[in-house]
Chains A and B, each alone.
Chain A
C-alpha cells in the first residue's frame, strides 16, 4: 500500500492539469481529496504501528546492482508522512483560492503533487539509492516551484540558486551513501540500522559523516548553506508554506534522524551535527532582526527552527529525540499556519511589510484567529504544542550542558520575537494608517482560511491533549530511532520546575525584545556585513559565466583553418606520442621488390599532387587531381584489386567533370594568405606527411588482431553463393553497411538538388518585403 500511496500522488501530479481545466475555480478542493485520503490512511496505520507492525514492501529492481524498490513505513516515516499529506491537502485547497484562475494553475498543481510524491518517497524509501533519487526529485520540483513566476528575474535566480545548492549537496551526499553502502555492505536502511557498530568503527566513518552531512545541511538550510532559503521566498506563498517551511527543508532533518542510529553517538556527530545546528538556530534568529518582510522573517525563523531540530539530533539523547519529534510536528503546524496567513495578508492587503500592517484583527477575523493560535504556539505559551516541544528541547539541552541550554534559550527568545512580529502585531496592534495599504483589506475566501484555522487549532489541541499523540505517534517514531521499544508519556503540564521558569523567562524577554523592536532593527542593520555567502555564491556564478564566455571566445573563434590546425596538431601529437612510447621496436621486414613501372606510377601521383596544389589555374589543379586519382587506381589494378581500380577510374572521371562544372560558377584562385602563414602551413603539412609515412611503415608490420578476411574467403561461395568475394562482402555479409552508404548518397543527392534548385533570391526578396511592411506597420 505504501508504494501505491507514492505512485498515486505521482499519478495525480500528471492528471492535475486536465483536472484543473475540468473543475476550474473549484480545483483546489477536488485535488485535495487524495492527500486527505492519504492522511486518513496514514492515521489508520498508527494503531498497528503502536503494536509494532511495520508496513514494508520491496520489489527487485536490479539483482546485479543490488537495487530494490524497498519501502518501509515506521514511526519516523509516518510522522513525516502525516505532515506531508496533511499540510499538503490544506495547501492544495489554499492555493486554489490564492491563485484564482489567473495563473496556469494546472502546472502549479503538477509540480506541487510531483513534489509531494517525491517527498513521500524520501521518507518511505528503505534503500539508500532510492532515497537519493526521490531526494533529487524534490530538489527538481522545488526548482520548478520557486521559479513558478518565471517571468520575474529574481524568481528565476532564486530557483537556480536553490537547485544548485541543494542539488550539489545531494551529489556529495550520494558519494557518502555509496561509501556507507560499501562499509555497511547493504543499501537497505533497515538492515544498515543493525550494523551501526561496524560503520562507526570503519576508517571511512569520518568521510561518510562529512559527505552525508553536507547533503543534509544544504537541504535543511544549515549554516553555512542557509542563504538559499530566504531567497527561495520568491516562490508563491503556498510553495513557501509547503516546501520551505513544512516539508522539503525537513528532508535533511529526516535523513539525520534516520541515520542517527547508524552514524550517531560519536563525538564528531555531537559536535558537527549539534554544533552546526546550534549555530544555525541562533544565526537564523539574529539575521531575522533586520528583516521587515513577513515572509523573510518567517524564512529566517525556519532556518532557526531547523537548527533546533538538527541540534536535538546531534545531542541524541532520548529526551533530545523526543524533543525533535515534538518540535518537528509543532513547527510544521505553526509555521505552516503563519506562512498561509502571510499569503492571505499579502493577497488582501498587497503588502507583507510588518511596519505598514496593523489592525487587521477586525478586518480578517478568521485569519487573525489562526495566526494568533500559531504565534502563541511558536512563542511557547503554555498549553500550546510549541510550549511542549520547547520544554523537551530545554530539558535535553539542560542535560547536555550549560552551553547548549544558553543557545537554546537564545534561539527560542528570538523566535518569540519573530512570532510576535509576524503572527500578532499585524492583527492586534494599530499599524500605520489603513488608507496607506495598497489594497483595502477584507477577509480572505473560505479556501484560504480553512488551512490556518485547522493548523492553528491543532497547535492548541495537540498542546493541550498531547496524550493522544504519545503512544500512537511519538513512541513509534522514537522507537524507530532508538532501535528498541520506547514508551513515551506526554503531559501538557509538568508542574512548576526550573524548565518552566526558564520558559516563562524566555517569553518575558521575548516581549521585551518586541517592545524595543525598532531599536533592535536599527542595531541589526548596522551589523549587516556587506559580504556573505550569498555574495560568494553570486561571485562564483558570475565567475563561471565569465570563464565560459572566455573559453568560448578562445576556442570557438569561427576560423575554419584554425579549427583544422587544432585537430591536425592534436592528431599528430597523439600519434607521435604513441609512436615514441611504442619505441620503434623491430621495424617490419620490408621487401625491396620494386618494379620500374610501379615506381613510375608513384612518381606520377606525387608530381600530379604537387601540381594540384601549385597550379594557379583551376582547371590545371583539377586535371592534376584527376591524374593523381588515376595513378591511385593503377596501383589498385597492379595489386590485385580490379574492382577498386574500376570504381576509382569511374569516380575520378565524374569528380573532375563535377569540378569543372562547378568552376564555371566559381571565382578564380586568389592568393589570400600572407607568406608567413603559408610557411607555417607548409611546416604543419610536411610534419604531418612525415609522420604519416612513418606511421604506415610501422603499421604495415603490426597485426594486433587476427584478420577476419579468411572467414569471408571461405564462406563466400557456400553461404552467399558469390564468387567475387569483395562484392559478396559488400552486398551480402556487410549488406546493411552498404544500405547505409546508399542512404548517405541519396541524402547527398537530395542535398545537391536542394542547393542547386533552391530559389534563395526569390525567398530573400519576399523576406525583405515582409520586413519592410513590418517596419511600416511599426511606423504607423
Chain B
C-alpha cells in the first residue's frame, strides 16, 4: 500500500489545488474538503502504515504488545478532522451569508469591501 497511497495523496492535492483556484466560492469549499482529506492521509502515511491492531490495550493485559499502530498520528488526525469540519461549517455559513448580501458567489466580484 505504501506504493499506492502517495499517488492517492498527490492526486487529492492536485484536485484540491485546482478547486481552490476556481472563482466560484462553492467550488473553493469543495477544494477545501479535498485538501483536508489529502493532508490527513499525508500525516497517516508519513508515520508508517501497518495492518496490525489498533493501539488499544486489551482488558486482560496491562500493556500493549507490538506490533500495533502508532497512536500519535491518529490523535493528530482526529483533531484535524474535527477542526476541518468546523472550518467547513463556518465557511458554508459565510458563503450563504455573502451570497445573500452581494448576490454573487464569484470571488472576483467580492474584491472590494463596498457592495
**Hey, which bits of chain A sit against chain B, CB under 8 A?**
558-561, 564-565, 568, 590-595, 598-599, 602, 605-606, 609-610, 612-613, 618, 621-622, 625, 628-629, 632, 635-636, 638-644, 647-648, 651, 654-655, 658-659, 662-663, 665-667, 669-670, 672-673, 681-682, 684-686, 688-694, 696-697, 699-700, 707-709, 712-714, 716-717, 723-726, 729-730, 734, 737-738, 741, 744-745, 748-749, 751-752, 755-756, 758, 760
Contacts and interface: CB of A to CB of B under 8 A. Distances in A.
Contacts of B78: 643-644, 647, 726, 730
Contact of A712 (B1, B71, B77, B107): B71
A33 B97 CA distance: 64
Interface in B1-50: 1-15, 17-24, 26-30, 33-34, 37-38, 40-42, 44-46, 48-50
Secondary structure of the B side of the interface?
A: helix
6 contacts: A639-B69, A644-B78, A658-B92, A688-B17, A691-B10, A751-B90
B26 A669 contact: yes
Given A640-B51, A644-B78, A647-B82, A693 B10 contact: yes
Contact of B72 (A663, A692, A708, A745): A708
A20 to B, nearest CB: 42
Contact of B5 (A595, A696, A745): A696
B112 A726 contact: no
A629 B37 contact: yes
Given A628-B34, A673-B22, A594 B1 contact: yes
A651 to B, nearest CB: 5
A692 B55 contact: no
Contact of A665 (B46, B48, B100): B100
B42 A729 contact: no
Given A689-B14, A690-B10, A709-B72, A669 B82 contact: no
A743 B105 CA distance: 29
Given A689-B10, A752-B89, A696 B42 contact: yes
A149 to B, nearest CB: 34
A51 to B, nearest CB: 72
Contacts of A708: 72
Contact of B15 (A609, A632, A752): A609
B10 A640 contact: no
Given A558-B112, A748-B90, A726 B99 contact: no
B63 A717 contact: yes
- Most chain A CB within 10 A, of B13, B42, B57, B112, is at B13
A644 B105 CA distance: 33
Given A558-B111, A647-B82, A709 B14 contact: no
B52 A640 contact: yes
Given A641-B69, A730-B78, 16 more contacts: A591-B2, A612-B15, A640-B51, A640-B55, A641-B77, A658-B89, A666-B96, A667-B99, A673-B22, A673-B23, A685-B14, A685-B15, A685-B18, A692-B42, A709-B71, A760-B97
Given A594-B1, A639-B51, A712-B72, A755 B93 contact: yes
Given A662-B92, A737-B79, A726 B9 contact: no
B36 to A, nearest CB: 9
Output the residue of A609, A669, A684, A724 with the most chain B CB within 10 A.
A609
A729 to B, nearest CB: 4
Contacts of A724: 55-57
Contacts of A749: 86, 89
B20 A605 contact: no
B74 A726 contact: yes
A663 B106 contact: no
Contacts of A669: 24, 26-27
Contacts of B1: 593-595, 598, 602, 639
Given A594-B4, A692-B13, A745-B82, A713 B71 contact: yes
A596 to B, nearest CB: 11
A650 to B, nearest CB: 9
A700 B33 contact: no
Give 3 nearest A-B pairs by CB, closest first. Answer: A689-B14, A640-B69, A693-B10
A160 B63 CA distance: 69
B21 A561 contact: yes
Contacts of B111: 558-559
B59 A723 contact: yes
Contacts of A643: 54, 74, 78
Contacts of A745: 82-83, 86
B55 A613 contact: no
Contacts of A672: 22-24, 106, 108
A682 B54 CA distance: 39
Nearest to B55: A725
Contacts of B107: 559-561
Contacts of A655: 33, 85, 88
Interface in B58-79: 58-59, 62-64, 68-72, 74-75, 77-79
A565 B90 contact: no
Nearest to B19: A613
Given A602-B8, A644-B74, A713 B24 contact: no
A725 B38 contact: no
B93 to A, nearest CB: 4
A676 to B, nearest CB: 13
Most buried by A among B54, B63, B64: B54
A477 to B, nearest CB: 62
B30 A640 contact: no
B85 A651 contact: yes
A741 B37 contact: no
B94 to A, nearest CB: 6
A670 B8 contact: no
A352 B63 CA distance: 92
A642 B100 CA distance: 40
Nearest to B80: A741
A28 to B, nearest CB: 49
Contacts of B112: 558
B2 A590 contact: yes
Nearest to A712: B71
A670 B53 CA distance: 47
B63 A714 contact: yes
A613 B34 CA distance: 10
A613 B56 contact: no
Contacts of B108: 559, 672
Contacts of A559: 107-108, 111
A662 B94 CA distance: 10
Contacts of B37: 605, 628-629, 632
A764 to B, nearest CB: 9
B38 A692 contact: yes
B79 A738 contact: yes
A663 B41 CA distance: 27
A685 B34 CA distance: 13
A638 B49 CA distance: 10
Contacts of B71: 709, 712-713, 725-726, 729
A639 B15 contact: no
A127 B110 CA distance: 56
Max chain B C-beta neighbours (<10 A), residue from A568, A658, A696, A700: A696
A612 B50 contact: no
B21 to A, nearest CB: 4
A749 B88 CA distance: 11
Contacts of B11: 606, 609-610, 689
Given A612-B15, A613-B30, A672-B24, A700 B9 contact: no
